[in-house]
Structure 1
Amino acid sequence: MSGYIPKNFIESLIDRCDIITVVDSYVPLKKAGKDYHACCPFHQEKTPSFTVSAEKQFYHCFGCGANGNIVSFLMEYEHCDFVEAIEELAASQGLSVPYEKGTHTQASASQNTEDLKPLYQLLEQANRFYQTQLRQHPQAGEAIDYLKKRELSGQTAARFELGYAPDAWNELLTQLAGNSEQQKHLLDAGLIVQNEQQRYYDRFRNRIIFPIHDQRGRVIAFGGRVLDDSKPKYLNSPETPVFHKGKELYGLHHIRKQRNKPEQIILVEGYMDVVALAQHDIHNAAATLGTATSTEHLQRLYRLTEQLVFCFDGDEAGRKAAWKALETLLPLLSQGRQANFMFLPNGEDPDSLVRQQGKQGFYQQIEQALPLSQYLFSHLQQQLDISTLDGKARLLELAKPLIHKMPEGAYQDLLLQHLGEITGTRQTAQYQRTAPVQKTASANKPHKTTRPSPIRVAIALLLQSPEFATSLESIEILRQIEQPGLPLLVELIDFINNNPNIRTGTLVEHWRYSEHEKSIQKLANWDIGIPQTGMQAELQGAISRLIQQTKERQLETLLQKSQLQKLSQHEKQSLNRLLSELR
């Protein structure tokens, strides 16, 4: 079904749901005063800084800045899109999501989940088909022998849902394509291929099949490993509406299913490596899917851990891939995030290494992995003679742009300091940022604090305490003047007055996907520095200042006009009224 979800349904659904109940089902919350606290699920921390407000139906982390309402939480935690989050909330309330014809911003933010359901269902059917073939097909003996040779148990094969694609052209096609519509879905899902003669055949043939799941556990694609000398050795599904290679990681959903977040995640190059490590009780490995490590990959991994171990082959191709990963990684190394680089002996991969050395031996190899800082400098110095001035100058030219890609902070400072020690120069970013400034006459003047605009203050207070809107004086005059931010304030007041008892979470949702979304999110969480007891008076004062400023502008406009031309009777009355009110 195509269409959009009506906004009034979304807002009423959010009003029916309780953010405390939903968040607590994922992250155990503890009551602290009127709010609830927990360690943030979106970054690693030991001291709880994640707060959920039952009154506002809003969450905020003082550590990483994550914030939002109940829909935002589900989208961030479940790594799902907006429509999926709404459907999950609706299901929890026993409701069906209505879809209306036409287009809408919220529906167009992601392809409608309803449109993709046939693909997800077909991919799951294909997954069951491949698993059945591994158990029952007459030709499956070769596949089973291969898995045994790799020392994989039946339990591990079942955990990763491994399967077998028979050595035939249309086994899957015959089984799942009952009509032309299903045949089209098979093509869209990347399960079959159409040749130049417009004939269809199975994409995967005579291969061990590895289902690829998204982070919600749904099958979205497959990888296949040949059982003979055919090329390519490994084959992945193509890009489809539900599968994007640059975003997905094999094995990540298995890591997310674990009760506790892993202390570290090992990033390997192939799905067989992930499965082999799991066979040896190493359950914290994930793999890219034939692509370079992307920013999206790293962001997803760092949501689960602060420590990554990149495991690469020791050959030239592996070292090139490692360096490219480092360059992608640098801008993401915010406070607390770490990365080590592990290079395997020539001819070895994680699969073969763990079978030779076992779990303990593999972890000993990880302990010897190079910290990012050591790998960065050792790689750059390989082609340089830093005993010479030319070599030191070249090292500075190469290293500084890379280090400056990193977020400012202690780690960047230390890397620049180390670079200075190697080259005999002073490179400390902290020194550059905090270098003393010579005092001048202007520097001795007292610092003038800028007062926030009354529009900004009023919007923030109304978002955080919508109930204050009923106590405001008439704002009709504010509708008569154009000023940045004023239309949003008036719209906000009208919306609250038309929806009594509305809460922060629903207000924030109302402006999702609008031009004001980011501003609304920020102001809903802005600490204005006013005690709760003084907020209502502050809001009333801000509105009064706005009305006063509006009247002063109107008066100035009329006075200027009166000097140039004769005022109308209505304008004269307005001028007299304003002079009286502002006297």
Structure 2
Amino acid sequence: MSQWIDFRALRAKLKFSDVLTHYGVTIKGKGDQHHGFCPLPNHGGKRNSQSFSANLAKGIFQCFGCGGKGNLLDFAVLMERRDPENGEDVAKVAAMLQEKFAPERKEPKREKATPPAAAPVPERAAKSNLPVVVNEPLDFTLKQLDPTHPYLAGRRFTPETIAHFGLGFCARGLLKDRIAIPLHDQQGRLVGYAGRVVDDALITDENPRYRLPGERERKGVIHRFEKSRFLYNGYRITEPQSDLIVVEGFPSIWWLWQSGLANAVGLMGWSCSKDQAKLIVASVKPDGRVWILPDGNEAGERCAETVLKQVSPHRFCRWVRLADGKQPTDYSPDELKRMLPF
């Protein structure tokens, strides 16, 4: 089992200067505030100005060019080309940082001298020799999910939409107190469940808004989930389309379908992987159009940029910009159809 990590305590132990050095980042300044060229892999455009700022004492950063910002853990997640909004990605990077910079050490016993013993093999190293399968189809389905939970009705989703996507409140297990979201790969096989908290007031580093399947060992095999390998709702796009909508999150897909716009796929986060970009291209006719509909915030801008960079050389793309702070679910069906005239 993976080790539980107190994110807040880890951030308190880490020095931002050490994390920056680990990634080969050099920035200069006086006191705690330092500046330099943005090192983030997803930084779009030229890096001809020192737009990156970091406060070493507070452990926070911001790039005024690409919009990236957050704490030092968010910085490490971005440097690892992972998604800070994905709890599983954050946990993996946090484990790496803890192992490198803040390992748990036990005081040695001093009763008597003993010959040095061979170091024990860490659990991670022992598992490294096990075979790994990625996005293996599940051999079970979650039972007794409640599709009538007030969260779904409060978001204006109809019983038909809830049933179409197999949604329901989970009262037990790893997704306890979350809306369970079935995840199907491009072949339509159930490969996992995501979970969405029903009370945003409970969201913390340890309890993220969305929880994706974690890595697990079963019968001598490591099972790993990678959302970058497929598109949410992608399996329903069975042939190339004239028009395809690309969004960030799950609710946007549900709302578009409910609004009569079924040709939509989700990235399950703001970043578009190479595999996802290839799938988007394959899902659109050569003379078709890709409609990028991200949220109206900085993460949405980064989302659009990652899609444009990889998809626009192969298919016509149009970025539909939403008002600041707005999401596709904030617009009526008629408003969405005016934004997406096809």
* Distance in 1 separating the partners of 2:253 and 2:228: 18
* Distance in 2 separating the partners of 1:210 and 1:301: 22
Residue of structure 2 equivalent to 1:321: 303
SS of the equivalent of 1:290 reads coil
* Distance in 1 separating the partners of 2:179 and 2:324: 26
RMSD, aligned α-carbons = 2.6
SS of the equivalent of 1:312 reads coil
* Distance in 2 separating the partners of 1:349 and 1:155: 22
Alignment partner of 1:134 is 2:146: yes
SS of the equivalent of 2:141 reads helix
Query: Pick from 111, 120, 127: which aligns with 2:137?
Result: 120
* Distance in 2 separating the partners of 1:290 and 1:296: 14
* Distance in 2 separating the partners of 1:361 and 1:318: 19
Query: Pick from 323, 337, 340: which aligns with 1:363?
Result: 337
Cα 1:220–1:346 shift into 2, 3 Å: same
SS of the equivalent of 1:246 reads helix
Cα 1:116–1:307 shift into 2, 3 Å: closer
* Distance in 1 separating the partners of 2:224 and 2:254: 23
Contact 2:248 2:303 survives alignment (8 Å): no
* One-letter identity of the residue aligned with 1:319: E
Query: Pick from 304, 315, 323: which aligns with 1:345?
Result: 323
Alignment partner of 1:208 is 2:179: yes
Rg (Cα) greater in structure? 1
* One-letter identity of the residue aligned with 1:347: G
Bigger shift: 313-322 or 226-235? 313-322
* TM-score of the pair, normalised by structure 1: 0.32
Shift of 1:291: 5.1
Contact 1:220 1:242 survives alignment (8 Å): no
* Distance in 2 separating the partners of 1:313 and 1:120: 31
Shift of 1:120: 2.8
Alignment partner of 1:246 is 2:225: no
Matches within 5 A, 1:238-317: 238=214, 241=223, 243-256=225-238, 261-290=240-269, 292-305=271-284, 306-317=288-299
Residues 64-104 of structure 1 deviation map (CA, whole Å, 9 limit, x = unaligned): xxxxxxxxxxxxxxxxxxxxxxxxxxxxxxxxxxxxxxxxx
Contact 2:134 2:225 survives alignment (8 Å): no
* Distance in 2 separating the partners of 1:321 and 1:121: 29
Residues 191-249 of structure 1 deviation map (CA, whole Å, 9 limit, x = unaligned): xxxxxxxxxxx321201111110111111121111111222122222357463121221
Contact 1:313 1:348 survives alignment (8 Å): yes
SS of the equivalent of 1:273 reads helix
SS of the equivalent of 2:156 reads coil
* Distance in 2 separating the partners of 1:133 and 1:222: 12
| Structure 2 segments unaligned to the other structure (5+ residues) | 1-130, 217-222
Shift of 1:314: 2.6
Contact 2:138 2:192 survives alignment (8 Å): no
* Distance in 2 separating the partners of 1:283 and 1:149: 22
Shift of 1:254: 2.1
Matches within 5 A, 1:135-214: 144-166=149-171, 171=172, 202-214=173-185
Matches within 5 A, 1:490-529: none
Residue of structure 2 equivalent to 1:235: 211
Contact 2:180 2:195 survives alignment (8 Å): yes
Q: Number of aligned residue pairs: give it.
A: 198
SS of the equivalent of 2:228 reads coil
Query: Pick from 216, 226, 235: which aligns with 2:197?
Result: 226
* One-letter identity of the residue aligned with 1:153: T
* One-letter identity of the residue aligned with 1:352: D
* One-letter identity of the residue aligned with 2:192: A
* Distance in 1 separating the partners of 2:299 and 2:269: 13
* Distance in 2 separating the partners of 1:251 and 1:317: 21
* Distance in 2 separating the partners of 1:238 and 1:249: 18
SS of the equivalent of 1:152 reads coil
* Distance in 2 separating the partners of 1:236 and 1:133: 17
* Distance in 2 separating the partners of 1:291 and 1:203: 24
Shift of 1:147: 1.3
Residues 333-357 of structure 1 deviation map (CA, whole Å, 9 limit, x = unaligned): 24xx21111111122111121xxx3
SS of the equivalent of 2:261 reads coil
Contact 2:296 2:327 survives alignment (8 Å): no
Contact 1:248 1:289 survives alignment (8 Å): no
* Distance in 1 separating the partners of 2:160 and 2:303: 33
* Distance in 2 separating the partners of 1:159 and 1:338: 30
Matches within 5 A, 1:441-456: none
Cα 1:133–1:329 shift into 2, 3 Å: closer
Identity %: 25
Higher share in strand: 2
| Structure 1 segments unaligned to the other structure (5+ residues) | 1-110, 136-140, 172-201, 369-583
Cα 1:234–1:147 shift into 2, 3 Å: same
* Distance in 1 separating the partners of 2:281 and 2:297: 27
* Distance in 1 separating the partners of 2:212 and 2:180: 10
